[in-house]
Amino acid sequence: MPIPDQVVWASGRRVVIGPPDGDLMGPIAAVEAVADISAGTGLPQLAVRCALEPGDLEALAAGGCVWISFYGGGMPPFSVAVGP
């Protein structure tokens, strides 16, 4: 999902992360992210913006879960936060 200018924080910079296979026309799309150094850990971080699709809120309210998939074989540490 695109990241609006107004939610990119002062220390962050917008970057585009390509698909793991490098195929921009393939089934895995590139994703926009904000890159910076985490104030909490001092480590580099990439933050992507996600949005619910129609029916997602109802599925979560009915006990559904959020699944996060890591393409390309890696599973980096991550956190999930709710915000603008």
CB 65 within 8 A of CB 56: no
**Residue pLDDT, tens place only, 39-80:** 888 989 999 998 899 999 999 999 999 888 877 766 677 888
In the structure encoding, which two tokens stand for residue 22, read together? Answer: 């490098």
Looking at residue 74, its pLDDT comes to 66
Question: Which helix (H) or strand (E) element contains residue 44?
Answer: strand 44-47
Domain count, the chain: 1
57 in a domain, yes or no?
Answer: yes
Q: Report if residue 53 sits inside a domain.
A: yes
How far is Cα 4 from Cα 16, in angstroms, rounded to an integer?
14
Percent of the chain exceeding pLDDT 90 equals: 44
Residue 84 belongs to some domain of the structure? no
The answer to the question of residue 43 being in a domain is yes
The residue range of the domain holding 31 is: 5-61
